[in-house]
Structure 1
Amino acid sequence: MTGPAIDMQQVGLTLGQTRILYDIDLHVAPGSVHALIGPNGAGKSSLIKTLMGQMPHQGTLTLTWPAEPGVIGYVPQALEFDRTLPMTVNDFMGVLTQRRPAFFGLSSRNTRAIDEALMRVGMQHKRKRRMGALSGGERQRIMLAQALIPAPSLLVLDEPMAALDEAGVAVFEELLAYWRRNHVTVLWVEHDLDAVRRLADRVTGLNHRVVCDGEPARVLSTEQLLTLFSAHPGMNTQATAPVVSGQTRVAA
């Protein structure tokens, strides 16, 4: 099933006395790979947490599904957990993909799905390895694997390439091609501009407000990047409008 369109209109976010996002207008086309770029602390992670319903916001955020609402997958920047826990990769995947406690074992259906997901990210040989013993890149591959179960229609990726080695990057690029073929809508926060140039359908430059938006060749020009990475939140790079009460809409 084709993923949803995402539309944000005048979305703002304020935490305490700090304004994080200013009047964001953003459209993500259904079934596209849409990258978010910008300097550290520019509000990129805050924007996707707002999309995931984890932060209050002003303005309107709408997901428009082509039919029934589908599965939303999420891969965070990093996995935070107690590394002394005796939790294997199998246990971790079971916790995330089934309702019954992992210590009851995996159902045959889940075992097959986990096998396929781990094989796709090249980690099937480490399913009995303790999670705390994995490298950062290996843990990131496991996070990509969990995003495959169940198959998402909308996938939100927060810097998924940050800890990956060269082999892991190749795995990620194969997954991105797979999601594109299956018309999954992908909203992807990324710092690797070369990867964005090669792999994204559209790019939005964010520095607390939308600074630039368009095809990668245009947004990733030297002039646009200089503007993006030197922009100040107070710059009037986008038209402002009165703040309205926050709404999140899901439409079919």
Structure 2
Amino acid sequence: MTPTDPALSRATPVPLGPTLNFSEVNLTLGRTTILDNVTFTVRPGSVHALVGPNGGGKSSLIKTLLGQMPHQGRLTLQWPGEPGTIGYVPQALEFDRGLPMTVDDFMAAMCQRRPAFLGLSRHYAGAIGDALERVGMQDKRKRRMGALSGGERQRVLLAQGLIPAPQLLVLDEPMSALDEAGIQVFERLLGDWRAVGITVLWIEHDLEAVGRLADHVTGLSRRVLFDAPPQQALTPERLLTLFSTHPRSAAR
């Protein structure tokens, strides 16, 4: 019998997530150009970071991807099979902290069609429990959302982005409110998503974390200023150019 080729045994599985193609994407609100001829590709199954200054168009680009803002140009998702699920984790959660809403109530409202006041449905109870366990919030399911710390609320947001299980995950500065324990949870999740081939598009300001954890980095300040692996993208010269550009006043 011919021995198994070691290279074949280490073959990378087919990614679950799609390829994202942004081609000459433009967005103008009134007389203000938000995105100017944005073109880059996110490889399937990769962790792709989007970095740049505040007001540079990162969140607006995410909103065009999610169908929340009009745009010109082409934005396509190429799935490996049937179209899958897109998960989204926002930067922060705005709500009335006086509401008597527990973590379970919030997860029910976000993840199931059944009204949250009727409790968790059997269909989602297991998935919600697993997601909260993955982010270290299983023991705080009965706590009010308003009584949680900012880092704990961010972990709950991470959990809701996992239901139903996504093949494309869009993250808008998920580390911004996390404490050290939460950051460790997030970094472990990133490794899990990469291992199973989920495509991750990740807005992040922590450039040290991007350098360690991302497969590819796009620098965006109204237009794409660089698009490369971290070791090539995060050089002092490129970062100086990126963060010294004024996206609102730059000439077209």
Partner secondary structure for residue 22 of structure 1: strand
Gaps of 5+ in 1: 241-252
The answer to whether the 8 A contact 2:114-2:121 is kept is no
Distance 2:250 2:163 in 1: 42
* AA matched with 2:229: E
Aligned-residue offset at 1:26: 1.2
Where does 1:1-252 land on structure 2 (aligned, <5 Å)?
Answer: 2-233=16-247
User: RMSD between aligned alpha carbons?
Assistant: 1.3
SS of residue matched to 2:49: strand
How far apart in 2 are the matches of 1:163 and 1:117? 19
Matching residue's letter, 1:60: R
1:104 CA displacement: 1.5
- Give the secondary structure class of the aligned counterpart of 1:11: strand
**SS where residue 229 of structure 1 aligns?**
helix
Q: Which amino acid aligns with 1:151?
A: A
The separation in 2 between residues aligned to 1:223 and 1:117, in whole angstroms, is: 40
CA deviation after TM superposition for structure 1 residue 175, in Å: 0.6
Structure 2 residues without counterparts, runs of 5 or longer: 1-14
Q: Report SS of the residue matched to 1:150.
A: coil
How far did residue 18 of structure 1 move? Answer: 0.9
State the partner residue of 1:243. Answer: none
3-state SS of 1:26 partner: strand
Q: TM-score, normalised by structure 2?
A: 0.91
Shift of 1:4: 0.5
Identity %: 68
Structure 1 residue 108: Cα displacement: 2.4
Matched with 2:5 is: none
The alignment partner of 1:226 has SS state of helix
Question: Could you tell me which amino acid in structure 1 is paired with residue 31 of structure 2?
Answer: Q
Residue 4 of structure 2 is matched in structure 1 by none
Opposite residue 56 of structure 1, the aligned amino acid is P
Range with bigger deviation, 207-216 or 78-87:
78-87
Q: 1:80, 1:16 → 2: CA distance? A: 27
Structure 1 SS opposite 2:132: helix
Letter in 1 for 2:23: Q
Question: Which whole-Å CA distance do the structure 1 matches of 2:134 and 2:22 have between them?
Answer: 33
Runs of 4+ in 1 over 4 A off after TM superposition: none
CA distance in 2 between counterparts of 1:145 and 1:101 reads 19
Local SS of the residue matching 2:68: coil
Deviation readout 1:166-213 (Å, 9 max, x if unpaired): 000000001101111110000000000000000000000001100011
Give the drift of 1:235. 5.8
Deviation at 1:231, TM superposition (A): 2.3
**Equivalent residue letter for 2:105:** D
How far, CA to CA, are the matches of 1:145 and 1:170 in structure 2? 15
State the 1:60 CA deviation: 0.6
Please report how far the alpha carbon of residue 103 of structure 1 lies from its aligned counterpart in structure 2 after TM superposition: 1.4
